[in-house]
């Protein structure tokens, strides 16, 4: 049954069931009262993924072991192998910053330092470490704090002192080569880093984890903690030796199966009468000191002639021989074996540096992960694939072994190779993962360091990790034109359409505009081959902050950029440089009349998931009004549109609907929407009238615009309109056109601050614009393109005449994004006004990174920042000015926020600019530029 470590988030444990121990509740009361002041709640933020841990924000527990020097003991997974920002909250709610001063390379313990002089009201005493007092049957208490709010106490009894270390899964941190204590308790789990005390108030173990489905808790013995603490108190560093070998403890009743003779068993029992078994080799890391010398199943008898039955003796022997030779006596298959091995330095195979590039975080492969994958301790570990490596299909946990044609044994080698290649280059990367460590895999990665800062950081145990920016990359080489030809397809429609269809890849470096996914693919349609204009749906290119690649003829891939994002509908326009295609016979699409009716034959043409151009004959099922639910994340959703549906459309193909001659009669588009937290998408036809209107606007002006009433409508049958009081003469006018459905458009939603806001009402029937009856969405769109319109409405059975200005909407593409405190900030999206009826003032939080100040203090996505320390912030410029002023006056900033439902809140936030620098991304002439902003 898998074990579970209660990591980071403190679990409140109440001992509700009395235990039958000698000590009474009254006996424990003064002990707990004496111990309480030394136990602290620890607030931690890990700003970077590193080795076994992701970046995160959470809580844990620690306790004072040296009050004069200010040393706190807690778990290794709390101190963190990578960078950490931590504070301690004492019993009286005093808060002081913590600095990590040691984390054990293997075992689950580490130390923080605090400045005792910073405590004004409480002066706690250190708890005494007494590992010798741990005994089976000992009654214990586990004492911790729940975020400094409540005392939490777990009662239990030590049941075992010789349990092998629990296993938390191959992708997580796991302790090894140590015993763990097991307690019989009423509640499983515990608080990370809590002291396990006896009736004398002495600490006999460190709480570490628990069983998910039972009442067992696991505690780390203190035999390695005490000497480490002494070394740190002496301003030293405890030596840590290794054979890169994992041992397990096996009881005597199992050892005969491993070849231990009865004679040797009697001898070992005589020499160590308290031992219940011996240590057996379980894993040998390839290329390590013991590789080829030790084997799984070898039974350890002695080291340098001294019997060894416990992990503590093994650890002491290795630590005392770092860099020297050690002599082991073992039993293999019943025969004695003597082996001499060099003892390695455990710190040298423990990563202490990371590289940031393209949003990725990379570190040297650790002993921890190498043993999990049975691989040598060499290569570069992908702690976070970020933008660049995830685009190449490389995920977290991959180990890079070759970059281009050069092997990379460590992070230094990879850094040299990154700097040896120019920006924009495609590099072949060899790597392996835990599910295929032997054969590995290969990926093609495009180097792109433009979106994120790039730097190398090394461990700093007395403050933030010092970081050094990487040198600027080599300039991108000038792309040479490439000519390709199209296949001679049998299908005449394929032949006609192929020169106008392109495969589109869209990768988002940041999550903005309510979009949570970062990788998109789809089909684009070339609408102007001379200018390089391509039209796509907004589920292929959802936002302007994107890296785009277009592939022509399945052979040539070139970059592109966003020209226009339609603010009202599911369309976007891209542009590429036609000169890069040489003499490739790309052609502008040919359009049919687009007048589709139910039963008309059409052909779907587009690219499938394998990048293959496919066509399929089908027929039109009809048109239906698009009615999509509101988005939780305020992602764009299309409205006020009739979409085309077909019979038995192929799955996973988007592109165009074409007639028998290969002329485009509609786009076959992917529409995305959210239902609750789930994202859904479906293929529907975008009518040609809308496509042509967009193309015309983009062709005519470098800054195309569209007008809107600022309202969403839905069709209402003519019969229901009559029941709502529609006069007969108006009903006759709506019946006059036999080709249109007998329907009226009803106001469904109003956009906050739009032209129709407070002038139209939900439930109004829209009868006419400028005296022309409005029967469908095409007429609504066409008639709304004047600066002001006269609107005829039916409201509660009465005709109403209103003159409305129309809103002039420019490019829906975002052109300014701010990265601040680990949050991605932007102007509020139009969806805020359209879907939540909230004004678009303030600065909107699009996303935050885990482990950042925004995550720690609750500056959550969806909030609008409207003031900083009472200074109004209507836009990003005002926000930057206010935060600069606040930083000069106070370290902590008070951010007044408003959520999407209009609730006002306050976030008190402190920045951490070392790990979370401020910078902006600005779109200049269609291209994005990253600019640092000084605090």
Of 104, 108, 162, 298, which is the active-site residue? Answer: 108
Phi and psi at residue 37, to the nearest 5°: -60, -20
Show Cβ contacts of residue 328 under 8 Å, excluding neighbours closer than 6 positions: 294, 300, 302, 303, 338, 339, 340, 341
Of 152, 185, 191, 500, which is the active-site residue? Answer: 191
555 is catalytic: no
Q: Which residues are registered as beta bridge partners of 210?
A: 4, 217
User: Length of the chain, please?
Assistant: 935
* 3-state SS string for 802-845: EEEECEEECCCCCCEEEEECCEEEECCCHHHHHHHCCCCCCEEE
Phi and psi at residue 538, to the nearest 5°: -85, 5
Give one DSSP letter per residue of 615-676, joined into a string: EEEEEEEEEEE---PPPTT------S-EEEEESSPPTT-EEEEE-TTS-EEEEEEEEEEEET
CA angle 404, 407, 413 (to 5 degrees): 95
Report the C-alpha gap between 916 and 819 in whole angstroms.
Answer: 8
Residue with tokens 């060499």: 378
Q: Which residues are registered as beta bridge partners of 467?
A: 457
H or E segment at 233?
helix 225-233
Handedness of CA 355, 361, 367, 370 (dihedral sign): negative
Of 6, 51, 77, 642, which is the active-site residue? Answer: 77
Report the C-alpha gap between 131 and 217 in whole angstroms.
Answer: 18
DSSP code of 462?
Answer: T
**3 state DSSP class of 317:** helix
Q: Which residues of 529-559 are buried (b: 16+ CB within 10 A; e: fewer)?
A: beebbbbbbbbbbbbbbbbbbbbbbeebbbe
CB 842 within 8 A of CB 864: yes
108 is catalytic: yes
CB 147 within 8 A of CB 61: no
What stretches of 69-192 show up as alpha helix (H) in DSSP?
Answer: 76-79
Token pair for residue 419?
């700097």
H or E segment at 270?
helix 262-271
Report the C-alpha gap between 615 and 85 in whole angstroms.
Answer: 56
Show Cβ contacts of residue 296 under 8 Å, excluding neighbours closer than 6 positions: 281, 282, 283, 284
Cite the active site residues: 77, 108, 191
């Amino acid at each position: 049954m898998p074990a579970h470590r209660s990591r980071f988030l403190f679990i409140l444990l109440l001992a509700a069931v009395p235990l039958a121990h000698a000590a009474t509740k009254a006996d424990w009361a003064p002990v707990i009262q004496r111990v309480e002041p030394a136990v602290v709640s620890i607030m931690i933020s890990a700003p970077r993924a590193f080795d076994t841990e992701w970046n995160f924000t959470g809580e844990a527990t620690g306790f004072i072991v040296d009050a004069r020097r200010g040393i706190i003991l807690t778990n290794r997974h709390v101190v963190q192998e990578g960078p950490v920002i931590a504070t301690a909250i004492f019993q009286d709610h005093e808060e002081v910053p913590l600095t990590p001063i040691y984390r054990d390379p293997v075992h689950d313990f580490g130390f923080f330092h605090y400045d005792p002089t910073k405590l004004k009201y409480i002066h706690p005493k250190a708890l005494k470490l007494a590992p010798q007092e741990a005994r089976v049957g000992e009654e214990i208490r586990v004492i911790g704090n729940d975020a400094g709010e409540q005392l939490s106490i777990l009662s239990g009894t030590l049941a075992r002192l010789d349990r092998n270390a629990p296993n938390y899964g191959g992708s997580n941190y796991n302790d090894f080569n140590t015993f763990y204590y097991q307690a019989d308790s009423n509640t499983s789990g515990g608080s990370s880093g809590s002291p396990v005390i006896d009736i004398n108030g002495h600490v006999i173990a460190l709480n570490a984890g628990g069983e998910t489905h039972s009442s067992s808790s696991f505690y780390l013995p203190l035999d390695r903690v005490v000497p480490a603490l002494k070394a740190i108190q002496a301003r030293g560093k405890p030596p840590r030796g290794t054979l890169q070998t994992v041992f397990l403890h096996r009881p005597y009743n199992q050892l005969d199966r491993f070849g231990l003779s009865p004679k040797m068993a009697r001898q070992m029992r005589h020499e160590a009468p308290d031992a219940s078994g011996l240590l057996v080799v379980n894993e040998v890391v390839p290329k390590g000191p013991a590789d080829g010398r030790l084997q799984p199943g070898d039974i350890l008898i002695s080291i340098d002639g001294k019997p060894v039955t416990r992990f503590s003796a093994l650890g002491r022997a290795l630590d005392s021989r770092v860099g020297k030779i050690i002599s082991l006596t073992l039993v293999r298959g019943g025969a004695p074996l003597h082996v001499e091995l060099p003892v390695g330095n455990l710190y040298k195979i423990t990563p202490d540096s990371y590289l940031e590039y393209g949003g990725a975080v990379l570190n040297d492969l650790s002993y921890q992960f190498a043993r999990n994958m049975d691989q040598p301790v060499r290569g570069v570990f992908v702690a976070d694939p970020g933008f660049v490596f995830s685009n190449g299909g490389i995920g977290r946990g991959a180990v890079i072994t070759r970059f281009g044609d050069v092997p990379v044994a460590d992070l230094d080698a990879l850094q040299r190779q990154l700097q040896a290649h120019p920006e924009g280059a495609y590099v072949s990367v060899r790597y392996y993962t835990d599910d295929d460590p032997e054969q590995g895999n290969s990926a093609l990665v495009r180097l792109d360091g433009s979106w994120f800062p790039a730097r190398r950081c090394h461990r700093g145990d007395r403050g933030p990790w010092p970081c050094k920016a990487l040198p600027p990359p080599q300039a991108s080489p000038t792309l040479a034109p490439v000519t390709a030809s199209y296949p001679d397809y049998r299908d005449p429609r394929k032949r006609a359409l192929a020169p106008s269809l392109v495969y589109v890849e869209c990768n988002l470096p940041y999550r903005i505009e309510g979009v949570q996914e970062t990788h998109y693919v789809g089909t684009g349609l070339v609408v102007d081959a001379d200018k390089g204009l391509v039209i796509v749906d907004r589920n292929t290119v959802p936002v302007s902050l994107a890296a785009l690649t277009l592939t022509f003829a399945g052979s040539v891939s070139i970059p592109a950029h966003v020209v226009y994002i339609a603010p009202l509908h599911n369309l976007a326009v891209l542009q590429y440089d036609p000169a890069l295609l040489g003499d490739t016979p790309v052609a502008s699409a040919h359009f049919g009349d687009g007048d589709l009716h139910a039963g008309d034959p059409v052909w779907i043409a587009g690219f499938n998931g394998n990048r293959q151009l496919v066509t399929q004959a089908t027929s039109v099922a009809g048109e239906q009004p698009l009615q999509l639910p509101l988005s939780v994340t305020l992602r764009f959703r299309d409205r006020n549109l009739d979409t085309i549906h077909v019979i038995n459309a192929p799955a996973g193909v988007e592109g165009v609907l074409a007639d028998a001659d290969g002329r485009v009669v509609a786009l076959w588009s992917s529409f995305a929407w959210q239902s609750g937290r789930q994202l859904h998408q479906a293929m529907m036809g975008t009518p040609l009238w809308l496509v042509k209107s967009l193309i015309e606007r983009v062709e005519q002006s470098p800054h195309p615009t569209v007008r809107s009433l600022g309202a969403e409508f839905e069709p209402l049958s003519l019969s229901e309109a009559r029941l709502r009081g529609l006069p007969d003469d108006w009903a006759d006018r709506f019946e006059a056109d036999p080709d249109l459905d007998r329907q009226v458009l009803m106001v469904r939603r109003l956009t906050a601050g739009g032209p129709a806001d407070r002038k139209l009402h939900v439930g109004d029937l829209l009868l006419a614009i400028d005296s022309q009856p409005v029967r469908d969405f095409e007429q609504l769109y066409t008639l709304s393109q004047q600066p002001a319109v006269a609107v005829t409405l039916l409201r509660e059975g009465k005709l109403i005449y209103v003159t409305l200005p129309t809103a002039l909407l420019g490019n829906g593409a975002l052109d300014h994004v701010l990265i601040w405190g680990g949050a991605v900030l932007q102007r509020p999206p139009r969806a805020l006004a359209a879907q939540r009826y909230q004004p678009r003032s303030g600065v909107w939080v699009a996303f935050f990174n885990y482990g950042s100040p925004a995550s720690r203090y609750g500056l959550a996505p969806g909030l609008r920042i409207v003031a900083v320390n009472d200074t109004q912030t209507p836009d990003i410029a005002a926000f930057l000015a206010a935060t600069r002023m606040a930083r000069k006056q106070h370290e902590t900033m008070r951010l007044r926020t408003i959520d999407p439902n209009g609730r006002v809140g306050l976030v008190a936030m402190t920045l951490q600019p070392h790990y979370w620098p401020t910078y902006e991304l600005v779109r200049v002439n269609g291209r994005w530029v990253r600019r640092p902003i000084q605090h």
